[in-house]
């Protein structure tokens, strides 16, 4: 997926992670690239504030990571698992879907970007800002079935986004993402989610 080459695509960790949102990857990528370009042009003071916000939010989430992992284990007990992946020279994205029958229970997306190979004047800063914006957008769901964290280590920028559909407030999620495709019983279809991701270029491992 060439879309990984733009720093703004970091937002796709959220934008396309939400299953069956109805958006195509190209539409999301175009919007995110524009947002990234705009942010790069901002003053250093603005960047510093956003960077501090991102670090603070990420640190807060790290403190609760063990607790969140325990909750996830409860949700996926006895579930089946599908792993999807896509990669290019700039990085790799892995989506893990946990499901029972055709009901998607938990969805986890992990991105890793080789910052030196990501396009843009300051890709690391742009990706940090993108994550900070997404954390702000989903702040009412954070810690309640929705997690978004990031980490920069050894030249690689990691983004992890987990949605526990058994715990997240689906109606609030739909308010944030109006195109979210819910089934009649207020659940997400595993088969539809998998089909969407494959159409977006992901391959089952």
Asked if residues 36 and 8 have their Cβ atoms less than 8 Å apart, the reply is: yes
pLDDT at 196 over 90: yes
Residue 126 to residue 35: CA distance in whole angstroms: 9
Q: How confident is the model at residue 188 (pLDDT cuts 50, 70, 90)?
A: very high
Mean pLDDT of the 133-152 span: 96
CATH of the domain at 148: 3.30.1830.10
Q: Is the pLDDT of residue 139 over 80?
A: yes
Q: What is the pLDDT of residue 50?
A: 45
Look up the domain containing 114 and give its range: 2-204
pLDDT band at 74 (very low <50, low <70, confident <90, very high): confident
Using pLDDT thresholds of 50, 70 and 90, give the confidence band for residue 67.
low
Give the distance, in angstroms, between the CA of residue 64 and the centroid of all CA atoms in the same chain: 18
Count of structural domains within the chain:
1
> What is the pLDDT, as a whole number, of residue 100?
97
Residue closest to 112 by CA, chosen among 130, 134, 87, 132: 87
CB-based contacts of 31, cutoff 8 Å, min separation 6: none
- Return the SS3 of 79: coil
Top pLDDT among 83 and 36 is at 83
Q: Token digits for 132? A: 């900070």
Residue 84: which of 109, 112, 113 has the closest Cα? 109
The set of long-range contacts for 151-155, using a CB threshold of 8 Å and a minimum separation of 24, is: 151/58, 152/115, 152/124, 152/128, 155/114, 155/115, 155/116
Whether pLDDT at 16 is above 90? no
CA angle 152, 153, 156 (to 5 degrees): 75
What's the rounded Cα separation, in Å, for the pair 150 and 164?
A: 18
pLDDT higher than 60, residue 135: yes
Record the pTM: 0.72
pLDDT of residue 6: 43
């Amino acid at each position: 997926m060439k879309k990984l080459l733009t720093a703004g695509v970091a937002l796709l960790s959220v934008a396309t992670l939400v299953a069956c949102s109805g958006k195509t990857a190209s539409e999301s990528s175009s919007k995110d690239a524009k947002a990234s370009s705009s942010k790069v042009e901002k003053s250093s003071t603005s960047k510093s504030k956003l960077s501090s916000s991102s670090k603070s939010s990420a640190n807060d989430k790290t403190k609760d990571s063990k607790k969140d992992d325990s909750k996830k284990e409860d949700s996926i007990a006895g579930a089946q698992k599908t792993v999807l992946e896509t990669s290019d020279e700039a990085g790799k994205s892995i989506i893990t879907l946990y499901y029972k029958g055709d009901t998607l229970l938990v969805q986890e997306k992990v991105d890793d970007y080789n910052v030196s190979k990501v396009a843009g004047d300051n890709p690391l800063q742009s990706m940090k800002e993108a994550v900070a914006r997404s954390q702000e957008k989903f702040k009412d769901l954070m810690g309640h079935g929705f997690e978004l964290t990031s980490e920069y280590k050894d030249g690689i920028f990691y983004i992890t986004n987990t949605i526990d559909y058994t715990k997240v407030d689906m109606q609030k999620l739909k308010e944030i993402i109006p195109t979210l495709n819910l089934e009649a019983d207020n659940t997400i279809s595993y088969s539809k989610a998998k089909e969407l991701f494959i159409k977006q270029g992901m391959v089952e491992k």
